[in-house]
Amino acid sequence: MKCPTCQKPSAKNFDPFCSSTCKNIDLLRWLKGDYRIPQAEDVSEDLNREESIEIFD
Ligand SMILES: [Zn+2]
C-alpha cells in the first residue's frame, strides 16, 4: 500500500502512511474538509470531528 500523502510505500507503524508526518498532514487536510480518503468508504460521514481532534493531544 502506498502512502496517501506522498505515494511512498507505507510503514506498518503508520499504516497506511509512511510516517507520522504524512499521517498528520492527511488528518489536517481531512479536518479542514477539503480532502477525502479514497479508500475510506466505510467511514461514517457524521464522524465527530471534535473527537478526531483529540488525536493531536
Ligand atoms: Zn508519506
44 CA distance to ligand 1 middle (Å): 24
Question: What pLDDT digit, counting tens, does each position of 13-26 carry?
Answer: 999 999 999 999 98
Question: What pLDDT digit, counting tens, does each position of 3-52 carry?
Answer: 999 999 999 999 999 999 999 998 888 888 865 556 655 555 555 555 55
38 CA distance to ligand 1 middle (Å): 15
Instruction: Give CA separation, 31 vs 1, 8, 12, 14, 34, in Å.
Output: 23, 22, 23, 18, 8
Higher pLDDT, 57 or 16: 16
Q: Which residue has the cell 498528520?
A: 24
Would the pLDDT of 54 be above 80? no
The whole-number pLDDT of residue 2 equals 93
Tell me the average pLDDT of the chain: 78
- List CB contacts of 17: < 8 A, sequence separation 6 or more: 3, 4, 5, 10, 11, 23, 26
2 CA distance to ligand 1 middle (Å): 8
